Amino acid sequence: MTLANYQDFLHSLYQGDDDTPTSSETDWDVRLNLLYAAIDAWDNEQGVLWRELWTNLTAASDGTKTTVASTVDYDMPTNFRFLGGFVRTTDSSDAHTYWDVLSPQKSELFKNEDVTAAYVTGNKSTGFDIHFLKTPIAGHTINYPYYKEPSKPSETTDVIEMADPWFAVYFALSKLHEYDGEGDRASSALAMAQGKLANMKVRNEMPPSYQDNYVPDRDTELGRGGFGK
């Protein structure tokens, strides 16, 4: 569902016609802000990490993706929140080096040591950086999985990320009815939104069919660790 679709659907449900406000009108801006509020509510649903918000450095629009000679500190994407696994550097033959991820505090124990590890510092204001504890080989590709900030559509063709964007439509509709003093209609729309959110949570936790439901241990899988080792 694009931003334009969202505005059309919301208007039709609210007013019963197809005379959607244009982007130059106040009603458009109000409903856009309600979309942002819906995205925030979805994003902050307690106990849920949405699959739609997992990504990797390769797919990011910014963030340093290639190692440089004599450099251990690299910019991370502006939508970064936290890492989801190993940091990986890859050479031209597709050979990987895996870097364990440490906390900034624990990294102090390994300064000036030959340790294949990295740590992250920063915040949303200043930006995040990843620091390698030893200098990676120049010219290698950097990649890592991470959990990102949700995008907020601004152009009419921008797509809403959540699995069921009708949650945002009904969330906004409930607010518009609430502003009008239409309590019953607001409650009905909110119930629809809550149902959409509940269904998204169920689907978010479903493992793919015929797949093992466990977290793999890389060392065990490669025969380098496990019980008795």
104 with 189, same domain?
no
**Helix ranges, 84-207 (H):** 104-107, 166-179, 183-205
pLDDT 10s digits, 11-43: 999 999 999 999 999 999 999 999 999 999 999
Q: Looking at the domain assignment, is residue 154 inside a domain?
A: no
- What pLDDT does residue 112 have? 81
DSSP tag of 149? P
Task: Look up the domain containing 119 and give its range.
Answer: 52-149
24 with 82, same domain?
no
- What pLDDT does residue 219 have? 66
115 with 61, same domain?
yes
Chain mean pLDDT for the chain: 93
**Parallel, antiparallel, or unpaired: how do β-strands 96-102 and 117-123 relate?**
parallel
- What pLDDT does residue 113 have? 86
Residue 43 is inside which H or E element, if any?
Answer: helix 26-43
Domain count, the chain: 2
75 with 121, same domain?
yes
Please count the CA atoms within 13 angstroms of the CA of 223 that sit on its side-chain side.
Answer: 0
For the chain, residues with pLDDT lower than 70 are 210, 212-229
- What pLDDT does residue 207 have? 81
91 with 14, same domain?
no
Q: pTM of the predicted model, to two decimals?
A: 0.88
45 with 66, same domain?
no
Non-local (6+) Cβ contacts of 33 within 8 A are none
Q: Looking at the domain assignment, is residue 221 inside a domain?
A: no
Q: Looking at the domain assignment, is residue 72 inside a domain?
A: yes
Number of residues assigned to the chain: 229
DSSP string, 44-112: T-TT---GGGEEEGGG-SSS--B--TT--EEE--TTEEEE-S-EEEE-TT--EEEEEEE-HHHHGGGTT
- What pLDDT does residue 202 have? 96
143 with 172, same domain?
no
Q: Looking at the domain assignment, is residue 215 inside a domain?
A: no
DSSP tag of 170? H
The number of angstroms, rounded, from the C-alpha of 129 to the middle of its chain's C-alpha atoms is: 17
